[in-house]
């Protein structure tokens, strides 16, 4: 079995150095304190902050390894306003998924200590599973629907949000009112998404165009190469909002898309830690704050957080 350490070593040369530095620091810390444990140990699934605000985790867990390395690698989207968007002016990624990732990282590094310790990498829909399987990322927070097919390859904490697939058309379009109307129309969605699978089963006569990312579908709709774009309502809402008056969302969702946090399939401890952490941020109000400062600026109101599924 490949451990997170093995994967990080293949990830890039700098990671190995970071790991050694982390271990060296840890060795120094242990030397100072003799055999005493450092602060409260919350157990494998726990995330309570120890004295000094830094949680402690059992040796060998993904949480401990991320903490020792001082870096967490997170896969997210870079072109989806409201959930995951790389701001071209600041080069920072912004959105609800990004905030959720930061809150999970704070559960590892301690409140206020995650700054500068998260590396966000772009994971378009079709590469999310392989990014996790190959150990390129520690977790994926990327409008990622939990389903049984994906569970064959990856694990999912959550859900932390439930979206629904919907349709975006030009603002003046009057003939597309729902999924059935997509038969015979040119429709765009992303490769490797549940949106594509649903489109193919629910409107089998649609003429489908796919790209790696949804922003390319929005461009195709804008210049008339396609008649409609279909994916999750919250993704489309961000694209509608970013395009001024050009597009509209039908607001007629026809699926349920529970968003999960993707982790390595066998890493039950890490998955349960994230589930615990989600429950903490539901309780503390940080979940609602994260929503209101991002998607909530355009979407109606913060959702009632869904119950996590500890399968």
Give the residue, chosen from 62, 193, 210, 275, that forms a contact with ligand GLU under the rule CB under 6 A: 193
**Per-residue x/- track, 199-228, ligand GLU (CB under 6 A):** ------------------------------
Give the residue, chosen from 65, 232, 267, 276, that forms a contact with ligand GLU under the rule CB under 6 A: 232
Pairing mode of beta strands 139-140, 154-163: unpaired
Strand ranges, E, within the chain: 72-76, 79-80, 84-86, 93-94, 118-122, 139-140, 154-163, 165-170, 186-190, 207-211, 228-232, 247-249, 257-264
Span near ligand GLU by CB under 6 A; candidates 53-61, 186-194, 218-226, 275-283 = 186-194
Span near ligand GLU by CB under 6 A; candidates 99-107, 115-123, 191-199, 290-298 = 191-199
Residue 63 to residue 49: CA distance in whole angstroms: 13
When the beta carbons of 173 and 194 are compared against ligand GLU, the nearer one is 194
When the beta carbons of 145 and 275 are compared against ligand GLU, the nearer one is 145
Residue 254 to residue 248: CA distance in whole angstroms: 17
Cα-flanking dihedrals φ and ψ of residue 243, to 5°? -100, 15
Residue 81 and residue 213 in contact, taking contact as beta carbons nearer than 8 Å:
no
Cα-flanking dihedrals φ and ψ of residue 61, to 5°? -75, 160
Give the residue, chosen from 56, 62, 231, 275, that forms a contact with ligand GLU under the rule CB under 6 A: 231
Residue 145 and residue 259 in contact, taking contact as beta carbons nearer than 8 Å:
yes
When the beta carbons of 114 and 190 are compared against ligand GLU, the nearer one is 190
Give the residue, chosen from 195, 215, 233, 275, that forms a contact with ligand GLU under the rule CB under 6 A: 195
**CB of residue 196 to ligand GLU, shortest distance in Å:** 8
Cα dihedral angle (240, 231, 159, 117), rounded to 10 degrees? -60
When the beta carbons of 231 and 275 are compared against ligand GLU, the nearer one is 231
By CB under 6 A, residue 76 contacts ligand GLU = no
3 state SS of 198: helix
Structure tokens at 270: 């890490």
Interface residues for ligand GLU in 113-142 (CB under 6 A)?
A: 125, 142
Query: What's the Cα-to-Cα distance from 65 to each of 15, 16, 23, 179, 183, rounded to whole Å?
Result: 12, 12, 9, 46, 50
**CB of residue 83 to ligand GLU, shortest distance in Å:** 8
By CB under 6 A, residue 190 contacts ligand GLU = yes
Using CB under 6 A, count the residues that bind ligand GLU: 13
When the beta carbons of 65 and 257 are compared against ligand GLU, the nearer one is 257
Closest to 221 measured CA to CA, from 168, 180, 182:
168
Structure tokens at 287: 């979940």
**CB of residue 145 to ligand GLU, shortest distance in Å:** 4
By CB under 6 A, residue 257 contacts ligand GLU = yes
Where does residue 288 rank: exposed (0-12), middle (13-18), buried (19+ CB within 10 A)? middle
Interface residues for ligand GLU in 144-163 (CB under 6 A)?
A: 144-145
**CB of residue 10 to ligand GLU, shortest distance in Å:** 26
When the beta carbons of 97 and 106 are compared against ligand GLU, the nearer one is 97
Give the residue, chosen from 143, 215, 233, 275, that forms a contact with ligand GLU under the rule CB under 6 A: 143
- Residues making contact with ligand GLU (CB under 6 A): 125, 142-145, 190, 193-195, 231-232, 235, 257
């Amino acid at each position: 079995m490949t451990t997170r350490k093995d994967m990080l070593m293949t990830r890039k040369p700098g990671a190995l150095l970071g790991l050694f530095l982390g271990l060296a620091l840890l060795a120094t810390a242990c030397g100072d304190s003799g055999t005493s444990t450092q602060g409260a140990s919350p157990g494998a699934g726990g995330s309570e902050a120890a004295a000094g605000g830094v949680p402690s985790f059992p040796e060998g867990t993904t949480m401990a390894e991320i903490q020792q390395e001082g870096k967490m690698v997170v896969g997210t989207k870079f072109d989806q306003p409201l959930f995951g968007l790389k701001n071209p002016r600041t080069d920072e990624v912004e959105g609800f998924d990004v905030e959720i990732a930061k809150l999970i990282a704070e559960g590892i590094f301690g409140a206020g200590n995650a700054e500068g310790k998260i590396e966000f990498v772009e994971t378009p829909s079709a590469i999310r599973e392989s990014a996790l399987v190959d150990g390129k990322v520690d977790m994926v927070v990327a409008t990622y629907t939990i389903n049984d097919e994906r569970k064959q390859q990856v694990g999912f904490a959550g859900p932390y949000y439930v979206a629904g697939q919907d349709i975006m058309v030009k603002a003046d379009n009057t003939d597309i009112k729902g999924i059935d109307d997509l038969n015979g129309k040119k429709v765009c969605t992303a490769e490797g998404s549940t949106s594509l699978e649903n489109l193919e089963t629910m409107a089998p006569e649609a003429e489908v165009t796919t790209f790696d990312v949804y922003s390319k579908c929005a461009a195709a709709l804008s210049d008339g190469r396609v008649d409609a774009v279909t994916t999750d309502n919250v993704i489309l809402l961000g694209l509608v909002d970013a395009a001024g008056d050009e597009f509209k969302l039908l607001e007629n969702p026809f699926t349920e898309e529970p968003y999960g946090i993707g982790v390595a399939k066998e890493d039950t401890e890490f998955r349960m830690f994230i589930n615990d952490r989600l429950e903490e941020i539901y309780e503390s109000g940080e979940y609602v704050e994260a929503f209101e400062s991002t998607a909530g600026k355009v979407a109606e109101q913060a959702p009632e957080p869904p119950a996590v599924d500890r399968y």
